[in-house]
Amino acid sequence: MSDQSRSNLLLFFDRPTEPCFMQKGDDAIFQLPDNFYPDKYKTVSSTLANRFGENAQRSIPVRNIALPDLSLPMELPYNDQFSLFVPKHRKMAGKLIDIFMGMRDVDDLQSICSYCQMRLNPYMFNYCLSVAILHREDTKGLNIPTFAETFPDKFMDPKVFRRAREVSTIVPVGNRLPLVIPQNYTAADSDPEQRVAYFREDIGINLHHWHWHLVYPFDAADRAIVNKDRRGELFYYMHQQIIARYSAERLCNNLGRPKRYNDFRSPIEEGYFPKLDSQVASRAWPPRFAGSTIRDIDRPIDQIRSDVSQLEIWRDRFLQAIETMSVTLPNGRQMPLDEETGIDVLGNLMESSIISRNRGYYGDLHNMGHVFISYSHDPDHRNLEQFGVMGDSATAMRDPIFYRWHAYIDDIFQLYKNKLPPYPAERLDFPGIRVSSIGIEGSSGANLLNTQWEQSTVELGRGLDFTPRGSVLARFTHLQHDEFNYVIDVNNSSGSDMMGTVRIFMAPILDEGGNQLSFDEQRRLMIELDKFTEALPAGTRTIRRRSLDSSVTIPYERTFRNQNTRPGDPGSAQSAEFDFCGCGWPHHMLIPKGTDRGYPIVVFCMISNWNEDRVIQDLVGSCNDAASYCGIRDRKYPDRRSMGYPFDRPTPASSITDFMTPNMAVQQCTIRFTNATRQRGQQG
């Protein structure tokens, strides 16, 4: 099997609603067997093949295979929206993933894709093919184009596409100027929530959420695709960190922390008008008016019939499991929730993937919360409306209610964490190791972090179906920080060389009213900035670490990566790493915005004993640069401690100073925001 035939699969991501007998990529067309053409094209199949083939430099023959039963995935109409949160859609996607995974080789996969691409819902097709490419042995390392290039309509103001069509029709390639995507276009400045629209509507943040759910699918016949190491705990931790990070952003903008959405009978105060159009469904995404209430859903078309009381029943069962520190298994037996794996079990029950220990009893609380909210405008389908942005993992984080819902989900997990005993000093300390200081070294001096706006570009050409070919760039504005170094002074008095895990966190100091946060509140707002292994030779040394090397984030180039600028040959080990690395928090959002006066934060550093933290495994050829949120491809999570350690448990300490052992240090720092915009590539 040639690398070329593998990389031909990536052509299915190009112009997703154009049939695959039209030109794909720069110069290729698929030569389809006559019986693969949909009925509407069958009578003219030879004419079409000639018409589109004559300009193609490369013609890809498609093998005529016996087609599997596609009746289940075909049930989703071509022009509908697709949601992983809707149980019926999950089943259809699970079936299609199984079909793609079951193809005996890449050529057969290419054949079934050629057939499906013209018939199946484009969003579902893209998702299932992406999951299959990520998980098949013979396609690992193929670099899936970033979702924002394939379906840019999920990420930006639709006015951009009208201008893009105009430019691509009139202006020759090479002379096209980048289009400008407006910032903060969804509401007036008089709406307080608009102060953090730059965070919620950030393209990189929404891509992170989509990609995470791609790496951790809910459903597939092959359990190994779903049952990844500590998956449930990672679901808890990744979303907990998003809430902590968003809370800091709100505090910088004079807003309170997100209010838990825990009363399913009361109105949702915030409205949200997404101002997005679906190019596939040819519909605007529906809004949610302020004061909407979730209502019982009866939508036969989506096979959803569920009452709000069902959410309350599932919630109460979770609370009971935490109260008794045990979950009920399908056979009625009780399984204790222990200190080590309890959070993983609860995370899998909450996310409700196929590895939930008892889906029948604990249900589908997290996903159905998304579904109820996303159908609040049309719960019985009388207006023939599709779901709102909360129903799609690529758009959900745009809506303020996402953070209120997840703040409540996190509260439930915290009830369990609060029942665990505090860490005793010996589980925090690292005898012989003393961290005497942590500091920040940046372009503006010590312990000062700078933020401002930055303009970057994204390629739209791949997603502009039925328009003239060629690159169309769009320029968008996002938050950015000046890069900096952590400077950590360590003394090893043990007399021998040691290895340590360096853990760096940041948290606000003051609450909404300008008062000091209690330590219990502050520890829940700790944002993990980095975690890395470091040799600690006997004596004193200074560790310097670049902010760019964070274990949480992926660099800009990977969030908005261009398909054509990847390392290694398609399918090489080098590019396989790159592929999983599409999962990670966008680096430009590592640091909260701060304020123009300077926003006070605390930076915390701890060095723990690597011999107690380490997971023995071979990491060669595995992408682990954003392992904190995404884990490592085909490997165990690279840290034995609980995610969020040492702040994941309650503590009797009344302040961070009381909490600290000698292997920890803190430093108060300031984040200063400058309301100016620079072009990408300029560092202030």
Residues annotated as part of the active site: 351
**Residue 415, CA atoms < 13 Å, CB-side half-sphere:** 17
Question: Which two structure tokens, joined as six digits, stand for 186?
Answer: 């969804």
CA angle 444, 447, 452 (to 5 degrees): 50
| Residue 332 CB partners (closer than 8 Å, separation 6+) | none
In whole angstroms, what is the distance from residue 236 CA to residue 406 CA? 10
Read off the DSSP letter of residue 605. Answer: E
Strand partners, 475: 180, 457
Closest CA to 418 of 311, 260, 524, 526: 524
Read off the DSSP letter of residue 438. Answer: E
In whole angstroms, what is the distance from residue 75 CA to residue 91 CA? 11
- Write out the H or E segment, with its range, that includes residue 324: helix 308-324
β-pairing verdict for 445-446 and 433-442: antiparallel
> Torsion angle, CA of 445/446/452/456, rounded to 10 degrees?
90
Question: Which two structure tokens, joined as six digits, stand for 169?
Answer: 């029709």
| Residue 176 CB partners (closer than 8 Å, separation 6+) | 167, 168, 470, 471, 472, 473
Question: Which two structure tokens, joined as six digits, stand for 204?
Answer: 């990189």
Strand partners, 667: 603
- Write out the H or E segment, with its range, that includes residue 247: helix 231-252
In whole angstroms, what is the distance from residue 150 CA to residue 168 CA? 17
In whole angstroms, what is the distance from residue 365 CA to residue 368 CA? 5
CA angle 551, 552, 555 (to 5 degrees): 90
**Cα-based distances in Å from 221 to 99, 358, 363, 378:** 10, 17, 20, 33
Closest CA to 444 of 635, 207, 684: 684
Work out the end-to-end distance of the chain between its first and last CA atoms, rounded to an integer number of angstroms.
Answer: 48
Read off the DSSP letter of residue 429. Answer: -
In whole angstroms, what is the distance from residue 88 CA to residue 236 CA? 24
E strands, 430-568, in order:
433-442, 445-446, 448-459, 473-481, 485-492, 498-508, 527-536, 539-546, 553-554
DSSP state string for 42-56: HTTHHHHHHHHHTT-
| Residue 47 CB partners (closer than 8 Å, separation 6+) | none
The count of other CB atoms within 10 Å of the CB of residue 513 is 6
**Cα-based distances in Å from 540 to 402, 436, 531:** 46, 10, 21
In whole angstroms, what is the distance from residue 542 CA to residue 534 CA? 11
> Torsion angle, CA of 286/287/292/293, rounded to 10 degrees?
40
Helices (H), 80-178: 87-102, 106-117, 122-135, 147-150, 159-170
In whole angstroms, what is the distance from residue 497 CA to residue 536 CA? 6
Phi/psi for 181 (5° steps) reads -85, 125
Read off the DSSP letter of residue 396. Answer: G
β-pairing verdict for 326-328 and 283-284: unpaired
